Amino acid sequence: MTTTTDASLELPRPRKARATGLWRLWSSAQVRLGVTMLVGITILVIIAPFLAPHDMAAPVGRPYAPPSPEAWLGTDNLGRDVLSRVMSGGIYLAWMAPASALIAVSLGAAIALIAAYYGGWTDLILMRCMDVLLAFPGILLTLLCVSIFGPAPPLLVTLVVLTLMPGVARVIRGAALPLLRQEYVLWAKTVGTPGRVIITRELLPNVSSPLLVELGLRLSWSVAILSSMSFIGYGIQPPAADWGLMVAENGNGLGIQPYAVLAPILMIVLYTIGGALIAEGSARIIARTEGEA
Amino acid sequence: MISAKLRRAVAVGLMASTALLGSGLAALAQAELVLGVIGNSKDVVQPYSPTTSASAESLYSQLYDNLSAYAPDGAVVMELAESMVPNETLDVWTVHLRPNVMRHDGKPFTADDVIASVKYMMDPENNFILRSQIDFVDPEGIRKVDDLTVEFTLNRPFGLFANAFAEDSLMMRALGEDGEVVGTGPFTLDSFTPGQEARLTRFDDYWGDKPGFEKLRIIGFRDQQAVTNALRGGQIDVAYSVPYTDVPALTADPRLKTVISGNTSYPMLAFRVDTEPFSDPRVNEALKLVVDREQIVNNAFGGYATVGNDFLGNNTGCAAPDIPQRTQDIERAKALLAEAGQSDLSFELVTDGAFAGMMEMAQLYAQQASQAGITVTVRKLDVASFLNRWREWPFLVSFTAGPYEIAATAALLPGQGENATHFDDAEYNELAAKLQVEGDLDKQCELVAQMQAIENERGGHIVPAFPSNITVHRDTVVGLKPDLHGRTPVEYGGVTLNK
């Protein structure tokens, strides 16, 4: 009598590389500061309608009036309260920037991992598509699409995603390729684990560190791109309050009422710095962790 | 004895000086004025098109002339025509042309060109809006008397013949031997990219007051902000228009100057009175009652305006109609809307923001209407997309230009191409017909007052303000003149450049 034994069952499962937990990232002062800034700004824009001294759309004085007890930061080009508009002006960024970054990173990572794992034609086709998107100027794509379909927020998010996704895919594919030679991946392949399972259970957790860095980085990029779209008139449309739009609307009054421009710029800078701090802090923690490993 | 080295140095110095002087003189002779305007990609070179735009008007002003025209003070004057003489019954007009007017192709402008122009602009197949403005002309009744005389036999008596042909859009053109459209204006066209740029050279055989500079470039921008930035940055010399609220900031720059004048051109809100729910008189009144006109004067037009009362026609020379000034009454508006079953009225307000004050007025109206529970969504389109559906938008920011007898009838009579509100009021139509054949000025004013009162009550126009015309230019441009018809930035007769 012969006994057949599945040899793979006898192989010891290799130890996986240690993934950096979120708690470890939180130990970074930079990450904590960045998260605090983003959360603080998000809370501010959410509760702005209850805290703002005036209706953000209603004129409270003459155009470009200087700061006064009635309007602490003066008025804008239509005589609206700058403070109230600054407080409300991040409401679009508060959801569009994180949504854009999250979707871009998710899709970019998915494409990168599929391309890296399956290789061959799959890799070639997917990454060439990413290269085409990467090579196509984002601003042209924006002008084209917004001119045709109008500046609806979902479209703007889609455009930002298309702009950011190829870069994410490039980075994550680069991070995933060395993992394919790791023992635990080879073991999973040997025992016949389906590709999608290997991608989600073996590869994805081990690229989570660069993914988190990408997320913070792309969040900053999203803020910059969305604000730029509003600034050039292809983003959020008047009379909505939006920081980028405020800069564009009040740019000509910079000489006589600078607060109408500087206040929204400050908010964009703070939001961008928040994202950048998270990315920078995450990168440092990951580097330190990999050094320890 | 002068050394060879010294002689060589002097020679080189003289050559360099000559070259510099030559290039300086050449630059002076080739001095170029740059005009900034919001561009429309659908602009065409010939002066008749289904729609018009600020960029097209800027170009046409340089290339073509009218038979008659409005002077800067509003008076009707002769341009390509020397005189226009009616018969006693006002149904036959004889137009005597100015002699020695040259076309850009070097040929004289004659009666044949007038006849061809008028017949072309009136051809139903071409579907030009301006056709309806001269519907009193019978194309078959136009006769050449001699090279400089044309006789128009009208299909009905019409006393405002010279006024009608003074309308900016009724320009004369000619066809060259190569089939190209040529004009008689102060500039000839070198190159043209619709919506982006037109380059022109002064026409030295121009019959009228010539510009004091050689070259003109018209640059098309996307929006008002871009035009203003270009002016501030020195990319352009003259802005076709700038946001009124930016004027104080712009004039704080000592290199920028302004020309302020009265104005017969202004934006207004317009809604279709033939379409639900705007066809309901209660909704019509409510939409007008939500307007805080003082706020629009001060915050949309920076105080450079007077309060309007929902009828066209400031600067008519006639007294305003004896009707109450409409003021904001939110409670009354709410009550009317509730009565009409439209308490949650919601609509889109469409504009291209092509003229100063349009976007600002739209935003303020949206905010003011919200106080009465009306939700107004402001939608800004590019010029071409907006103009393509000009008569379709239910609620839009419209624009009017010209004196009342022409502008109001073009915008308020049935079948007129500019009637975006689709207004068709029997009483108004009858008064307009009387106005067109009335020669007595006092009686004209009586008719205008009655028409304006009807507009105020039943019309689809909300006219919150009559803004002034403000042209901002760099101090290197000298001689721009105030103009009641808003042509200050595009009229260059006698204008010089000190670049």
A61-73 b/e (C-beta count within 10 Å ≥ 16 → b):
bebbbeeeeebeb
Can you read off the two tokens belonging to residue B118? 């008028």
Whether the pLDDT of residue B193 is over 80: the answer is yes
Task: Convert the pLDDT of each residue in B303-359 to its tens digit.
Answer: 999 999 999 987 677 888 999 999 999 999 999 999 999 999 999 999 988 888 999
Cβ pair A239:B367 closer than 8 A: yes
Contacts of B227 in chain A (CB under 8 A): none
pTM greater than 0.95 = no
DSSP tally for chain B: helices H, then strands E: 14, 26
Task: Convert the pLDDT of each residue in A243-255 to its tens digit.
Answer: 999 998 898 888 8
The minimum CA-CA distance between A216 and chain B, rounded to whole Å, is 33
Whether the pLDDT of residue B24 is over 90: the answer is no
Q: How far apart are the C-alpha atoms of B261 and B246, rounded to whole Å?
A: 17
Task: Answer yes or no: are the C-beta atoms of A179 and A98 closer than 8 Å.
Answer: no
Cβ pair A58:B367 closer than 8 A: yes
Q: What is the pLDDT of residue B324?
A: 95
Task: Convert the pLDDT of each residue in A63-90 to its tens digit.
Answer: 999 999 999 999 999 999 999 999 988 8
- Kindly give, in sequence order, each residue whose CB lies less than 8 Å from that of residue B125, ignoring residues fewer than 6 positions away: none
Residue B318 falls in which region: left (phi positive, over 0), alpha (psi -120 to 50) or beta: beta
Residue-wise DSSP of B398-460: EEE-S-HHHHHHHHHSTT-TT-TT----HHHHHHHHHHHH---HHHHHHHHHHHHHHHHHH-S
Kindly state the percentage of chain A with pLDDT values over 70: 91
Whole-number average pLDDT of chain B? 88
Query: Which residue's entry shows tokens 């409300």?
Result: A88
* CB half-sphere exposure, A187, CA atoms < 13 A: 14
Architecture field, domain B266-467: Roll (3.10)
Q: What is the pLDDT of residue B151?
A: 96
Task: Answer yes or no: are the C-beta atoms of B276 and B282 closer than 8 Å.
Answer: no
Start-to-end CA distance of chain B, whole Å, equals 43
Task: Answer yes or no: are the C-beta atoms of B150 and B114 closer than 8 Å.
Answer: yes
CATH number for the domain whose boundaries are B33-38+185-262+469-497: 3.40.190.10
Q: How far apart are the C-alpha atoms of B152 and B130, rounded to whole Å?
A: 17
Task: Note whether B300 contacts A: Cβ–Cβ < 8 A.
Answer: yes
The minimum CA-CA distance between B381 and chain A, rounded to whole Å, is 8
* Residue A2's pLDDT band (cuts 50, 70, 90): very low
Q: What is the pLDDT of residue A12?
A: 56
- Kindly give, in sequence order, each residue whose CB lies less than 8 Å from that of residue B375, ignoring residues fewer than 6 positions away: B344, B345, B346, B347, B369
Task: Convert the pLDDT of each residue in B101-158 to its tens digit.
Answer: 999 999 999 999 999 999 998 888 887 777 777 888 999 999 999 999 999 999 888 8
Q: What is the pLDDT of residue B248?
A: 85
Cβ pair B363:A238 closer than 8 A: yes
Can you read off the two tokens belonging to residue A268? 């964009």
Q: Which is more confident, B315 or B228?
A: B228
Task: Note whether B315 contacts A: Cβ–Cβ < 8 A.
Answer: no
Q: Where exactly are the structural domains of chain B?
A: 33-38+185-262+469-497, 65-174, 266-467
Q: What is the pLDDT of residue A4?
A: 45
Q: How far apart are the C-alpha atoms of B143 and B151, rounded to whole Å?
A: 5
Task: Answer yes or no: are the C-beta atoms of A11 and A187 closer than 8 Å.
Answer: yes
CA dist B89 to B82, B84, B93, B158, B453, Å? 21, 14, 10, 9, 30
In a mutational test of the A interface, the residue from B227, B299, B361, B368 whose CB has the highest number of chain A CBs within 10 Å is B299
User: How many other C-beta atoms lie within 10 A of the C-beta of residue A186?
Assistant: 12
Q: What is the pLDDT of residue B160?
A: 85
User: Which of B232, B298, B363 has its CB closest to that of A62?
Assistant: B298
Residue A251, classed as helix, strand or coil, is helix
In a mutational test of the B interface, the residue from A252, A254, A259 whose CB has the highest number of chain B CBs within 10 Å is A252
Helix (H) or strand (E) holding B191: strand B187-193
Residues 378-397 of chain B whose Cβ lies under 8 A from any Cβ of chain A: 378-380, 382
User: Which of B250, B300, B379 has its CB closest to that of A252?
Assistant: B250
ipTM, interface predicted TM-score of the complex: 0.72
Q: How far apart are the C-alpha atoms of B222 and A142, rounded to whole Å?
A: 15
The values of phi and psi at residue B120, to 5°, are -65, -45
Task: Convert the pLDDT of each residue in A158-211 to its tens digit.
Answer: 999 999 999 999 999 999 999 988 888 898 888 888 989 999 888 988 888 888
Angle between helices B426-437 and B441-458 (to 10 degrees): 160
Contacts of B223 in chain A (CB under 8 A): 233
Residue-wise DSSP of A91-137: HHHHHHHHHHHHHHHHHHHHHHHHHHHH-HHHHHHHHHHHHHHHHS-
Task: Convert the pLDDT of each residue in B249-296 to its tens digit.
Answer: 888 889 999 999 888 888 999 999 999 999 999 999 999 999 999 999
CA dist B301 to A175, B250, B288, Å? 57, 14, 19
* Strand pairing class (B461-462; B266-271): antiparallel
Whether the pLDDT of residue B20 is over 60: the answer is no
Task: Convert the pLDDT of each residue in A13-64 to its tens digit.
Answer: 555 554 446 677 788 898 899 999 999 998 988 888 888 899 998 999 999 9
Residues of A with CB under 8 A from a CB of B: 55, 57-59, 62-64, 77-79, 147, 150, 233, 237-239, 248-249, 251-257
Residue-wise DSSP of B100-115: TPBPTTSSBP-HHHHH
Out of 3.90.1170.50, 3.30.565.10, 1.10.3720.10, 3.30.2350.10, the CATH code matching A28-49+73-292 is 1.10.3720.10
Q: What is the pLDDT of residue A224?
A: 87
Architecture field, domain B65-174: Alpha-Beta Complex (3.90)
Residue B373, classed as helix, strand or coil, is coil
